Amino acid sequence: MQSRVPGAAANHTSWKLSRERRAAEGYVGPPEVVAEREQIRLAHALGQLVYDRRAALGLGQSALGERLGMSGDEVEAIELGGMLPITADLLVRLATALDVTVELHVVSDGQNTVMFEEHAA
């Protein structure tokens, strides 16, 4: 048996659909909101790259944290996309600790990308 608050939406999907509908109608949103969403999207993409590379190297979060000069909890925050803002210092430290080249492409339309390129053995 489900309990609902009178007048409340059945679930959160209607909110997402509303946002998608407004976007399809051309609504973009305030620039600061768009920029924040892009930062969050990039942080999640970076987090996945860090997790994948750390796993490929056979490192635990604490071991990577030592290489980065931070705690395992901070590495976890990076991997979950919670390390904002993404700074040049963080990218340089990650490149060194994970033995990769970090490629960050920032473009005016907001389709920014971050990639890792492993160094040749």
How many Å apart are CA 83 and CA 77, to the nearest integer? 6
Digit-by-digit pLDDT tens for the chain (121 residues) are 454 455 555 555 566 677 677 778 887 788 888 888 888 999 999 999 999 999 999 999 999 999 999 999 999 999 999 888 889 999 999 999 999 999 999 888 778 899 999 987 6
Superfamily of domain 29-118: lambda repressor-like DNA-binding domains (1.10.260.40)
- Provide the residue ranges of all domains of the chain, joining segments of one domain with +: 29-118
Instruction: Kindly report the pTM of this predicted structure.
Output: 0.75
